[in-house]
Structure 1
Amino acid sequence: MPTRIFQPEGTRLPTSLVEEWRKIPAAVVADLLRGTGHVDAGIRPLRRFGTKSWLVGSAITARCEGADYGAVHHAIDVAEAGDVVVVDAGGRSDAAMIGELLSGSARRKGIVGVIVDGAVRDAGMLSEWADFAIFSRWVTPRGPSSMEGGSVNEPISFGGVPVSPFDLIIGDDDGLVIVPRGRAEELLTPALARVKAEVEWEAVLATGRSTIEVFNVPKAEKAQ
């Protein structure tokens, strides 16, 4: 069956809203979502982000069938600048779904990254691109075997988390978190407040006060 391209419901999040989310690290988002949005920890970035910036963008989904990567080609084709291509390859390790050539094409379009529940290749080159992020579960030299199946912009499961087109992807050195599109505006204010609070906690702890005091940890009992 040829690759199928679905018409997503809704529209991309406003650019201004996405830009505000660039201030929020993955750990803060994961805590706000109370364990429902963080992706399997086995999916890791190829390069370290450090503390300066991380991956943030709207999802374009690609569901691959077996070792076929047709959906990845079509997802890159329909994605726009600022998007993240989210590849559900079923976690398989024996065939890379993307490498330098496709990633380079995506990068030139302004796509900010590709995340793969599966394998990638050309890791040496991809890990050198500071303006394009790759997360994957595996790295392998073997490429795909066909390019005529799968689907684009269909709801998928990625690393154990549901992902729909235009959901917000946030990824840094801690891992990946998915913010449902419908909750991105609602969660922004508490996320920014948590970031502010963490800065304040750090300043107070730097004065020598204990974490027991600062975080109001319940008293412990002495063991008999």
Structure 2
Amino acid sequence: MPTRIIAKTPPRLDADLIARFAAVPVAVVVDLLEGRTQVDPAIRPLRRIAGGPALLGSAVTAVCDPKDYGAVHHAIAVAEAGDVVVIDAGGRSDVAMIGDLLSTAARRKGIVGLVADGAVRDTGILGGWGDFAVFTRHVTARGPASKDGGTVDAVATIGGATVHPRDLILGDDDGVVVIPRDAAEGLIDKAEERARAEIGWETRLSAGETTLAVFGVPDAVRA
């Protein structure tokens, strides 16, 4: 069965709204969403993101059949600049769904990175790019066996989190969180407020206040 592309998908969120999430840590969003859309922490970035841009963009999903990466090719073709390719390979470690050649093609289009619940390869190259963030569960040298299956822009599951097409993907050194498309507008003000609060807490701690005072920890009872 050839790779299927789901034609009817939601539009991307407004670019200005997406950009506002760039200043918000993953941990803030995870806390506000009570962990419901946190991706399994075993899916890690290939390189440290500290000091560089976080992974942030609209999701284009590639739901892969076993050992087949056809959906990844087509997801890259469908994706636009600023998007994130989300690869649902069922967490398998047996074959890499993407390496440097497909990632180079994606990067050339302006795709900002990928999240793979599966394996990638050519990590010496992928891990050296500062403008293309790669998060993956596994690394393996073995490539796929076929390229004519899977589905693009179907609902995917990545590290236990459900990803709908054009949901927002946010990643940093703490991991990845899915921001449901329909929740993003209502979440951003709270997320920015929490991020500002954390800066204030850091300032107070730097000035010598205790964590007890800064965080309003109740008094302990001495036994």
Q: TM-score range by the shorter chain?
A: over 0.9
Distance 2:9 2:152 in 1: 13
> 2:20 maps to which residue?
20
> 1:67 maps to which residue?
67
Q: How does 1:132-171 map to 2 (within 5 A)?
A: 132-171=132-171
Q: Kindly report structure 1 stretches of 4+ aligned residues shifted beyond 3 Å.
A: none
Cα shift readout 1:151-193 (whole Å, capped 9, x = no counterpart)? 0000111100000000000001100000000011110001000
Cα shift readout 1:52-103 (whole Å, capped 9, x = no counterpart)? 4211000000000100000000000000000000000000001000000000
Q: Alpha carbons of 1:211 and 1:63: their partners in 2 closer, same or farther (altered >3 Å)?
A: same
> 1:120 maps to which residue?
120
> 1:81 maps to which residue?
81
> 2:193 maps to which residue?
193
What one-letter code is carried by the residue in structure 1 that aligns with 2:167?
D
Instruction: Please list every run of 5 or more consecutive structure 1 residues that lacks an aligned counterpart in the other structure.
Output: none
Distance 1:168 1:25 in 2: 14
**Does the aligned pair in 1 maintain the 2:96–2:118 contact within 8 Å?**
yes
Distance 2:220 2:150 in 1: 55
Distance 2:52 2:9 in 1: 33
Cα shift readout 1:94-141 (whole Å, capped 9, x = no counterpart)? 100000000000000000001100000000001111111111001100
Q: How does 1:32-111 map to 2 (within 5 A)?
A: 32-111=32-111
Q: Alpha carbons of 1:30 and 1:8: their partners in 2 closer, same or farther (altered >3 Å)?
A: farther
Identity %, equivalent residues: 57
> Does 1:221 find its partner at 2:221?
yes
Distance 2:196 2:17 in 1: 18
What one-letter code is carried by the residue in structure 1 that aligns with 2:77?
D
> 1:3 maps to which residue?
3
1:118 is paired with a residue of what secondary structure?
strand
TM-score (norm 1): 0.97
Q: Alpha carbons of 1:116 and 1:101: their partners in 2 closer, same or farther (altered >3 Å)?
A: same
Q: Alpha carbons of 1:124 and 1:177: their partners in 2 closer, same or farther (altered >3 Å)?
A: same
CA RMSD of aligned residues (A): 0.9
Instruction: Please list every run of 5 or more consecutive structure 2 residues that lacks an aligned counterpart in the other structure.
Output: none
What one-letter code is carried by the residue in structure 2 that aligns with 1:75?
A
1:74 is paired with a residue of what secondary structure?
helix
What one-letter code is carried by the residue in structure 1 that aligns with 2:111?
I
TM-score (norm 2): 0.98
